[in-house]
A and B are shown apart, each in its own frame.
Chain A
Amino acid sequence: MRPFDYLRPKSAEEAIEMKARLGKKASFLAGGTDLLVKLKEDAVRPEALIDLSFIESLKEIREADGTVAIGSLASYADIGSSPLIERFGYILRQGALEIGAPQIQNAATIGGNIANASPAADGIPPIYALGAHITLVGKEGRRVVAVEDFFTGPGKTVLKEDELIIEIGFPKMMEQDKGFFKKIGQRKALAISKASVAAVLHIANGKIEEARVALGAVAPTVIRCPKTETLLKGRKISGSLIEEAAKSVSSESMAIGDVRSTPEYRDYVIGVLFERGMRNIFSDILP
């Protein structure tokens, strides 16, 4: 590891000001669970770290007219134990509890997970499925970006050099909404996803009115499944619909092979995950 300066801003404004001043030379530090690994491997060489972890205001999870807003510094342990998330965004809770292991969840933040922009990040498919927006603040002001527009490639986002992720907001899941997050890794804990899937379905009159399905680890970024979503729209839940949709999910997966798995397996198993998730949430109406 190389030496670096360590800065500790007390507010978001101060953090942004520091970053604007130092530019590329500085990195924000949240839980450090991605950044420290990269520092150790010499994959990044910042001259200064701006430690966000003392900015309490960025750790809040709150609700405001129909939406839930999660401060970017909220840890996955915070998210996993938040009653608001459990009630209005439980698929994110499911994701939070599958990140690494408890020690990692205590340190890892949602902002860091998003900024790191791994296609295998377990916090990202749930916020796609929830239809989230990400609030960014930089020297030039505040902007709100739809989650789909935020990621541009593996490790790549639209975040500008001086911008800080402030919060992640999403419309509350209502009683008619059902959803799930499922992942598969190389072992039961401390496992990066080989494939993951999140879905939110809005149900009215026994039919799927709207569906949002997001896949992780099978494309350069987390992706939505437009064909599957269209296929589900307006349909009544049935075993055969789920099977058909699972096949469609597999066909929309665009996995590559690496040390963790093969493209064939990923494309295949993501359909299995989807099918299992659907069968779980509709177990009351399915035979």
Chain B
Amino acid sequence: MEIGVKLYGEFKKYAPKDDDRISLDNGGTVAQALRSLGLNDRDLSYAMVLVNNIRVKFDRHLQDGDRMDIFQPIGGGAEKLYRYVGKPVPRIDARDKVTGRTKYSTDLSFPGMLWAKVKRSEYPHANILKLDVEKARKLPGVEAVLTADDIPGHNGFGIITPNWPVLCRDRVMYMGDAIALVAAVDEETAERACELIEVEYEELPVVTSPEEAMREDAPQLHEKGNIMHTMELRKGDVEKGLEEADVITEGEYSTQFMDHAFIEPPGGVGIYDEEEGILTIWCGSQYAFRDQLQIARAMNWDPRKIRVIGSPTGGAFGGKDEITVQIHLALLAYHTKKPVKLWWTREETLIVNSKRHPMKTKFKIGATKDGRFTAIDVDVTADTGPHDTIGAPILNLALESSPGPYQYPHSHFKGRSVYTNNAIGGEFRGFGAPQVVWGVEQEIAKLAGKLGIDPIEIRKRNALKLGDISSLGHTMQTSVGVTETLEAAENSDLWRNREKIIRELNKKHPGKLHGVGMASEWHAVGLGVGIPDFANIDLEIHPDGKIVLKTGAIEIGQGNITAYAQMLAEALEIDMERIEVAHGDTFKTPDSGSVTASRSVLVNGNAIIDGADKIKKRAILEAATILVEDPNNLVYEEGAVRSKSDAEKIVSIENIAEVCCRRNKPLQDVGANIMAISDKDFGDGLPHNYYTFITQVALVGVDLKTGQVDVLRAVSAPEMGKAINIHGVEGQCEGGVVMGQGYALYEDLKMEKGQVLTSNFTTYIIPTAVDAPDIETIIVEVPEKTGPYGAKGVGEAPTVPITPAIMNAVNNAAGIRINDLPITPEKVINALKAEKR
């Protein structure tokens, strides 16, 4: 019998030559028809078949003259079935981590290893009049005491402007500034030596806030003045937009310093190999290649002689993108010619390491009666502390994030980042967004309330769509799932049944009021226009069947290497178990950029696919010589190259690799990707081209008498293009919720006159397991065609809108609003009292 066939998508390759029909034995089934076309088991596992326009199962018997449409379900319809991508895959590093087998850099120990300590400032702002290290040098067991005089190169580091002194020479500008380094036979001796270092200071006035810093008579912290950076963006005419509004809402919000509270405080080991002239630094890091350059600049060395190994890192959250111990270790290892270990204490970490910037933000938003936004005016002031690090781009991203994922015809954004003698403002998961989203999502909630529109509905009415011009003026070129995440949140059990849930809880717990709140966000993925944003990977196929992927990306706990292995297994159509990932080593892996900005799956993923494509092409060419076949008649499939016409002719990639090795041309290649950029360039790295969209919902209980707020349930609905590892996305969302809850309720690096008052975990309070809510993650996918398997990124967004969602829930419960984070019981009680009056 004759059957008409039409194949779609990747299945087109099976189409019969010059014909749209096949002949089949009478009574044959769909499955037999598919086989005769050449579809394999894997294809059959996800193919979709219509017979005469009706979807059928494969055991269906065909009749003469039937017409078959054979689909590979992609895009808008059902989804392509992957073997690894989009599945909940256990982390490839999990077993070694939970059994304690993984060695972090601070676990390393070498024979004859010295311990290092850093002598730090005793004042937040002072001139150094005299520095005497003689007594310390003479202490038995001390092998080196180094000062600014011992720095061969540039005495400074910083991702953007290297003005953070490696060791201060004549002035200290905050409590974390380093003055001298000690290496000694053990930790105690190093501590004693630090005590013996004599520093004579002349105290200088302390600048404790941006407001103070901007006064005319303020002490100037830097030559260029106290304003580190300003940024302004404008679209349309904001005054006109506000005039067109029926209602205007206005508010001023402030946020606190927040610590990353990663498990492993910054630390590592440095070794100088005199014979080879190589300096090796193992350290917690987010970008070994930048560390290498920053070390080289300070050491005045050839970076090629500096090996930095950053993987694995025990948590970073942005707090290890900048230099911590690297240069100090390099100096000491070089001077002592012995292995040296430096590991900050928790107290040191809280005082020294960069923090999430406190910001004060003013919002003015106008809307029409039917809830359409007409204009937004935003003004941000950030406290960046004494040194630059990456403060400028953080302010910029705060501005970009501040309107939220909505349409505004008119907008105006202005911000400044200001020097003080407080803690250092630096990189932190969210990169400026949490500070402003805290405000804008409350303002929108207020607007919705004023207009009597449901909070999700008002957001949907203004939601950005693919192809829209954003509030900043650039085109939304990549997948936009604002509406989808809002709908997912709207359909969640918590949101749909909120009234009932609240009623029952209020009944069960008299004295408490419960409430549900939500908030949304767009979160930029990648580094932005004008900033080099690339990844390189190396791929090697070994004759023993092992496949090695090398990436400079560091495993900081986020699960990226598992996602890479999934994508590679998918691309090469092989078992994931065969893949070994080498990562984060400047001598052994290529530069893949920093693991930051939620970028590493997107940019490394594309590089992996690029590399896999090259390997497949090369495999076909090599197989042609092995199988003695025209390469055009060969296809790559499931880890092997086979002839299209002769089933006997097949060779696996490991066998191809073996032949390649024998021919002295190993089967290996590189993959590369450069992140696509926006259609506009606003300067300073703005705007971005990819965004994660997310809506989060919180259920809280407010104790009306004690003012305590409990977060009971949380829902995250992130849209990250495509979830590569379901477990990975869930992990990011769960961790993100708890981190955002900490920001909302507990965490506060309190400063007084430049001193940190909460310098350990007894006073710097992070949520514990019993404080954490029940968390639900609803994965929303709007595949992005330029992303690997449709993926964008998801690392940061899940910690952002949860904070205002908690406040909106408190407002829903008790009618109060608190504008300055955190929402402490003390503030809640005061607000409740004010509300009563």
Report which A residues bind B (CB closer than 8 A). 1-3, 37, 41, 101, 184, 186-192, 259-262, 264-265, 268-269, 272-273, 276
**Inter-subunit contact A265/B825 (CB<8 Å):** yes
**Inter-subunit contact B767/A187 (CB<8 Å):** yes
**Inter-subunit contact A192/B767 (CB<8 Å):** no
Minimum C-beta distance from B99 to chain A (A): 21
* In the complex, chain B residues 796-835 whose Cβ is within 8 Å of any chain A Cβ: 825-826, 829
| Chain A residues closer than 8 Å to B771, beta-carbon distance | 187-189
| A2-B826 CB under 8 A given contacts A187-B746, A188-B771, A192-B762 | no
**Inter-subunit contact A189/B706 (CB<8 Å):** no
B768 within 8 A of A: yes
Among residues of A, the one whose C-beta sits closest to the C-beta of B511 is A276
CA distance in complex: A269, B703 (Å): 12
**Inter-subunit contact B708/A260 (CB<8 Å):** no
Additional A-B contact list (5), CB under 8 Å, known A184-B825, A188-B770, A192-B762: A189-B768, A259-B750, A259-B763, A261-B826, A265-B829
**Contact residue among B705, B746, B826 (Cβ-Cβ distance under 8 Å from A262):** B826
Q: Could you list 28 examples of A-B contacts with CB < 8 Å?
A: A1-B188, A2-B188, A37-B762, A101-B768, A184-B708, A184-B825, A187-B746, A187-B765, A187-B767, A187-B771, A188-B771, A189-B769, A189-B771, A190-B768, A192-B762, A259-B750, A259-B757, A259-B758, A259-B763, A260-B763, A261-B826, A262-B826, A265-B825, A265-B829, A269-B706, A269-B825, A272-B705, A272-B706
Minimum C-beta distance from A256 to chain B (A): 14
Among residues of A, the one whose C-beta sits closest to the C-beta of B826 is A265
Minimum C-beta distance from A114 to chain B (A): 20
Minimum C-beta distance from A129 to chain B (A): 21
| Chain B residues closer than 8 Å to A186, beta-carbon distance | 746, 765
Minimum C-beta distance from A278 to chain B (A): 13
Minimum C-beta distance from B832 to chain A (A): 11
Minimum C-beta distance from B589 to chain A (A): 38
Minimum C-beta distance from B82 to chain A (A): 41
Minimum C-beta distance from B826 to chain A (A): 4
| A184-B768 CB under 8 A given contacts A2-B188, A260-B763 | no
| Chain B residues closer than 8 Å to A265, beta-carbon distance | 707, 825-826, 829
**Contact residue among B188, B746, B768 (Cβ-Cβ distance under 8 Å from A3):** B188
Minimum C-beta distance from A186 to chain B (A): 5
Q: Could you tell me how many residues of chain B have their Cβ less than 8 Å away from some Cβ of chain A? A: 21
Among residues of B, the one whose C-beta sits closest to the C-beta of A266 is B826
- Of B758, B768, B769, most buried by chain A (CB within 10 Å of CB) is B768
- Of A3, A37, A186, A190, most buried by chain B (CB within 10 Å of CB) is A186
Minimum C-beta distance from B590 to chain A (A): 42
Among residues of B, the one whose C-beta sits closest to the C-beta of A186 is B765
CA distance in complex: A186, B767 (Å): 10
Interface string of B756-796 (1 = CB under 8 A from A): 01100011010111110000000000000000000000000
CA distance in complex: A273, B746 (Å): 21
List the 5 shortest-distance A-B pairs measured between CB atoms, nearest first.
A265-B826, A188-B770, A272-B705, A186-B765, A189-B770
Chain A binding surface, main DSSP class: loop
Report which B residues bind A (CB closer than 8 A). 188, 347, 705-708, 746, 750, 757-758, 762-763, 765, 767-771, 825-826, 829
CA distance in complex: A192, B762 (Å): 8
CA distance in complex: A3, B347 (Å): 20
Minimum C-beta distance from A246 to chain B (A): 10
CA distance in complex: A192, B706 (Å): 16
Among residues of B, the one whose C-beta sits closest to the C-beta of A101 is B768
Among residues of A, the one whose C-beta sits closest to the C-beta of B703 is A272
| Chain A residues closer than 8 Å to B705, beta-carbon distance | 269, 272, 276
Among residues of A, the one whose C-beta sits closest to the C-beta of B347 is A41
| Chain B residues closer than 8 Å to A273, beta-carbon distance | 706
CA distance in complex: A129, B746 (Å): 31
| Chain B residues closer than 8 Å to A37, beta-carbon distance | 762
CA distance in complex: A187, B347 (Å): 20
CA distance in complex: A19, B763 (Å): 33
Minimum C-beta distance from A195 to chain B (A): 10
Among residues of A, the one whose C-beta sits closest to the C-beta of B761 is A190
| Chain B residues closer than 8 Å to A184, beta-carbon distance | 706, 708, 825
CA distance in complex: A26, B765 (Å): 33
**Contact residue among A188, A259, A260, A262 (Cβ-Cβ distance under 8 Å from B768):** A188
CA distance in complex: A190, B765 (Å): 9
CA distance in complex: A259, B764 (Å): 9
Among residues of B, the one whose C-beta sits closest to the C-beta of A269 is B706
Among residues of A, the one whose C-beta sits closest to the C-beta of B765 is A186
Among residues of B, the one whose C-beta sits closest to the C-beta of A40 is B345
| Chain A residues closer than 8 Å to B765, beta-carbon distance | 186-187, 191
CA distance in complex: A186, B765 (Å): 7
| Chain B residues closer than 8 Å to A101, beta-carbon distance | 768
Among residues of B, the one whose C-beta sits closest to the C-beta of A265 is B826
| Chain B residues closer than 8 Å to A261, beta-carbon distance | 826
CA distance in complex: A268, B832 (Å): 14
CA distance in complex: A75, B746 (Å): 29
CA distance in complex: A273, B765 (Å): 22
CA distance in complex: A276, B705 (Å): 10
| Chain A residues closer than 8 Å to B188, beta-carbon distance | 1-3
Minimum C-beta distance from B394 to chain A (A): 26
CA distance in complex: A265, B833 (Å): 12
Among residues of A, the one whose C-beta sits closest to the C-beta of B708 is A184
| Chain B residues closer than 8 Å to A259, beta-carbon distance | 750, 757-758, 763
CA distance in complex: A187, B763 (Å): 11
| Chain A residues closer than 8 Å to B825, beta-carbon distance | 184, 265, 269
- Of B188, B706, B757, most buried by chain A (CB within 10 Å of CB) is B706
CA distance in complex: A1, B825 (Å): 36
| Chain A residues closer than 8 Å to B829, beta-carbon distance | 265, 268-269
Minimum C-beta distance from B669 to chain A (A): 51
Among residues of B, the one whose C-beta sits closest to the C-beta of A261 is B826
| Chain A residues closer than 8 Å to B770, beta-carbon distance | 187-189
Minimum C-beta distance from A12 to chain B (A): 31
CA distance in complex: A268, B833 (Å): 12
Minimum C-beta distance from A100 to chain B (A): 10
CA distance in complex: A241, B727 (Å): 55
CA distance in complex: A214, B769 (Å): 30
CA distance in complex: A186, B746 (Å): 7
CA distance in complex: A135, B140 (Å): 46
CA distance in complex: A261, B706 (Å): 12
Minimum C-beta distance from A193 to chain B (A): 12
| Chain A residues closer than 8 Å to B763, beta-carbon distance | 259-260
Among residues of B, the one whose C-beta sits closest to the C-beta of A264 is B826
Among residues of A, the one whose C-beta sits closest to the C-beta of B705 is A272
Among residues of A, the one whose C-beta sits closest to the C-beta of B752 is A259
Among residues of B, the one whose C-beta sits closest to the C-beta of A260 is B763
Minimum C-beta distance from B498 to chain A (A): 24
Among residues of B, the one whose C-beta sits closest to the C-beta of A2 is B188
Among residues of B, the one whose C-beta sits closest to the C-beta of A37 is B762
CA distance in complex: A260, B762 (Å): 10
CA distance in complex: A273, B758 (Å): 26
CA distance in complex: A186, B347 (Å): 19
CA distance in complex: A187, B773 (Å): 13
| Chain B residues closer than 8 Å to A189, beta-carbon distance | 768-771
CA distance in complex: A191, B771 (Å): 11
Minimum C-beta distance from B160 to chain A (A): 33
Minimum C-beta distance from B377 to chain A (A): 34
Minimum C-beta distance from B828 to chain A (A): 10
CA distance in complex: A244, B705 (Å): 16
Minimum C-beta distance from A194 to chain B (A): 8
Minimum C-beta distance from B453 to chain A (A): 36
| Chain B residues closer than 8 Å to A260, beta-carbon distance | 763
CA distance in complex: A37, B762 (Å): 11
| Chain B residues closer than 8 Å to A264, beta-carbon distance | 826
Minimum C-beta distance from A120 to chain B (A): 11
